[in-house]
Structure 1
Amino acid sequence: MEAAPQRVELPAAFEDVEADVLVDLIADMMERLMAHNDRIPLSPEALTRFHSRSAPGISVLDYFKRIVRFTKVERVCLLITLHYIDQICARTPLFTLSSLTCHRFVITSITISSKTFCDVFSLNSLYAKVGGIPVDELNMLEREFLRMIDWQLTCTREILQEYYVNLVRTHSRGIYYIPVPESPSSISSDSDTDWDMGGSPRPSSPAAENSTTQREPSTILIDTATLSPQPPRPPTLEQNMAFADFHQSSQDQPEGHPG
């Protein structure tokens, strides 16, 4: 019989967690979300600039680690990627995070969030090189990202903290935990109810909040096992033509980067 994996205690606040641990938590959630979304057939109207012609050969976890290594990205920029996914999926329901869109979305999110939250950030040429895409392509993805999210690039610290404690709770291997606080003013994550920084109860996910605190249902924090693929609407003639053009250009595109 295999021994149970040793559990790892994490800091109560996301600002204090090691970057490698945070990317493990984020990548774990993204992998499960992608596994679900990859079962949904790709329709022409769902095609975006973020779609690669094939899934990149590098895992999401290794991709995040590469970004952290070469850009020294801050924790808030990593964690807010999840908030950006939720916001864009709410605004653009046809967009899904899949193995074809994840890598481009991640490097674009890191590029934009670094400019939003950090006093010092890198040039797009470096982010593009780290992400494995041409800088002109990253520039286009950046513009498309900003359009899709309507320039809503910030959120509260409490929202990011909520993402963090839920990532710890729902981690697939269950090896991480945040210790139960000794006082009501601390944050608990091992119980069924999380606590915000003021000590008041916080539901386990945004979708579980009551009517006094309305927020869009979360794409990241919901249980993906309860989801069922929705049949796409019939494509228009223009969408069929665009889809055919995309496949033709993909056949002519050289190898060497994610998509």
Structure 2
Amino acid sequence: MESSSSGRVELPAAFEEAHIDHLVLLIADMLNRLMTHNDRIPLSPESLTRFHSRSAPNISVLDYLKRIVRFTNVEKSCLLITLHYIDQICARTPIFTLSSLTCHRFIIAAITVSSKGLCDSFCTNHLYAKVGGISVTELNILEREFLATIDWRLMCTREVLQEYYINLVRTHSTGQFVIAGADSSPSNSSDSDIDMESGQSRPPSPEIPTRPQPGTIPQEVAQRATVEQNMAFAALQQSEDFKGRKGRDG
């Protein structure tokens, strides 16, 4: 990892080689944007799920992820696949939204099941519950609910995780990170934009927009934004902003 003269931080091309602290920053940034979108939705009784807390936890998503990494030695693939699980559940359960009331409990449930499904060694539910700030009984219930909701589809390909990683870097809210050796110009990201919007590498979310207007959040995205939608929208907005600046400068 190196810092360029422009102040950007260069990350490895492959997610496996990235430092886990950088992955945590990238994922937390995306989840915070997702929560900001979904917290605008009025909460109705029929939209309540097992993942809802009575009030938003005092700990930030970033600090929560850092705590999990510190005490559970979670693997990088388990962190990234959490984003895939979000898209899966949003597609399968339309009433679910990742918000400040659901994010933390969703994360600890996702880490628990992914670690058991993907890793040779993992922690006990007692430790996951203690780190997550909930009881073992509650985590057991969340785990069963989580598995049922995703239909026990715990796996995805390495290519899917890599795509999430690339797009997390590209759409980070500060533009701080860049893939080493890659052209970071927004105007050269159209092919990846198309992939994200069409969902060619994985089933697309049913409400993903095709061409939202720059600078606005489409109603369907504001109502139920998924990780994939946020990435596609952020990439499109970044590309349109770059073209606008180029036109003014030319």
Q: TM-score, normalised by structure 1?
A: 0.76
Q: Determine if the alignment matches structure 1 residue 73 to structure 2 residue 77.
A: no
What residue number does 2:218 align with?
227
Letter in 2 for 1:226: I
- The residue correspondences of 1:94-113 to structure 2 (distance < 5 A) are 94-113=95-114
Q: 1:215 aligns with which of 197, 200, 203?
A: 203
Q: Determine if the alignment matches structure 1 residue 25 to structure 2 residue 16.
A: no
* 8 Å Cα contact 1:207-1:215 kept in structure 2: no
Letter in 2 for 1:81: T
- The residue correspondences of 1:81-230 to structure 2 (distance < 5 A) are 81-181=82-182, 190=185, 192=187, 203-204=192-193, 206-209=195-198, 215-217=203-205, 226-228=217-219, 229-230=222-223
Q: Residues of 1 paired with 2:206 and 2:65: CA distance?
A: 22
* 8 Å Cα contact 2:125-2:140 kept in structure 1: yes
Taking structure 1 as reference, are residues 24 and 103 closer, same or farther at Cα in structure 2, changes over 3 Å only?
same
Structure 1 position 45, deviation (Å): 1.1
Taking structure 1 as reference, are residues 46 and 158 closer, same or farther at Cα in structure 2, changes over 3 Å only?
same
Taking structure 1 as reference, are residues 137 and 144 closer, same or farther at Cα in structure 2, changes over 3 Å only?
same
Taking structure 1 as reference, are residues 214 and 55 closer, same or farther at Cα in structure 2, changes over 3 Å only?
closer
CA-atom RMSD in angstroms: 2.8
Structure 1 position 149, deviation (Å): 0.5
Q: Residues of 2 paired with 1:37 and 1:7: CA distance?
A: 29
Taking structure 1 as reference, are residues 28 and 230 closer, same or farther at Cα in structure 2, changes over 3 Å only?
closer
Structure 1 position 209, deviation (Å): 2.9
Letter in 2 for 1:15: E
* 8 Å Cα contact 1:88-1:149 kept in structure 2: yes
* 8 Å Cα contact 2:109-2:146 kept in structure 1: yes
Taking structure 1 as reference, are residues 214 and 50 closer, same or farther at Cα in structure 2, changes over 3 Å only?
closer
Letter in 2 for 1:116: G
* 8 Å Cα contact 1:92-1:148 kept in structure 2: yes
Structure 1 position 56, deviation (Å): 0.1
Letter in 2 for 1:215: P
Q: Residues of 1 paired with 2:131 and 2:143: CA distance?
A: 15
Structure 1 segments unaligned to the other structure (5+ residues): 182-187, 195-200, 232-259
What residue number does 2:62 align with?
61
Q: Residues of 1 paired with 2:102 and 2:30: CA distance?
A: 15
* 8 Å Cα contact 1:37-1:97 kept in structure 2: yes
Give the greater-gyration-radius structure (CA): 1
Q: Determine if the alignment matches structure 1 residue 12 to structure 2 residue 13.
A: yes
Q: Residues of 1 paired with 2:21 and 2:106: CA distance?
A: 19
Taking structure 1 as reference, are residues 97 and 122 closer, same or farther at Cα in structure 2, changes over 3 Å only?
same
Q: TM-score, normalised by structure 2?
A: 0.78
| Number of matched pairs | 215
Q: Can you list the C-alpha shifts for 1:172-225, whole angstroms capped at 9, x where unaligned?
A: 1111001335xxxxxx6655556xxxxxx9522644238x76731389999895
Letter in 2 for 1:47: L
Partner SS, residue 193 of structure 2:
coil
Q: Residues of 2 paired with 1:68 and 1:34: CA distance?
A: 21
Q: Give the % identical residues.
A: 63
Letter in 2 for 1:204: D
* 8 Å Cα contact 1:23-1:64 kept in structure 2: yes
What residue number does 2:38 align with?
37
What residue number does 1:254 align with?
none
Structure 2 segments unaligned to the other structure (5+ residues): 225-250
Q: Residues of 2 paired with 1:193 and 1:152: CA distance?
A: 34
Partner SS, residue 203 of structure 1:
helix
* 8 Å Cα contact 1:207-1:217 kept in structure 2: no
Deviates more, 1:157-166 or 1:215-224: 215-224
Q: Residues of 2 paired with 1:219 and 1:179: CA distance?
A: 33
Partner SS, residue 121 of structure 1:
coil
